[in-house]
């Protein structure tokens, strides 16, 4: 099992991850065939103690850039 910064408990960018319209089970995994309240990677880790072995990066995925901190006295209008 990997330690520290190598641990990935996120499904962001995985080709099997999808968002549902069910408010009680908002996230799902096409590969495992389930929906749940937690991210599928978290469910896999809690069940097996290992990271998800089926993670595959989507070919068109671009991670979001973190927002720059606001300058003092500025208000964020975008939310």
**pTM metric for this prediction:** 0.64
Distance separating alpha carbons of residues 72 and 40, to the nearest angstrom: 39
Any residues with CB less than 8 A from the CB of 5 and at least 6 apart, and which? Answer: none
pLDDT at 31 over 80: yes
Q: Which tokens belong to 52? A: 């998800």
Q: pLDDT-derived band of residue 1, with 50, 70 and 90 as boundaries?
A: very low
Phi first, then psi: what are they for 32, rounded to 5°? -85, -20
CA 77 – CA 14 distance, rounded (Å): 31
CA separation for the pair 19, 11 (Å, rounded): 11
């Amino acid at each position: 099992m990997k330690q520290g910064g190598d641990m990935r408990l996120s499904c962001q960018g995985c080709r099997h991850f999808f968002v549902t319209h069910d408010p009680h089970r908002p996230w799902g995994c096409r590969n495992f065939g389930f929906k749940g309240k937690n991210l599928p990677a978290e469910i896999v880790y809690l069940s097996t103690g290992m990271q998800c072995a089926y993670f595959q990066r989507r070919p068109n995925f671009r991670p979001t850039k973190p927002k720059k901190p606001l300058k003092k006295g500025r208000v964020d209008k975008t939310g």
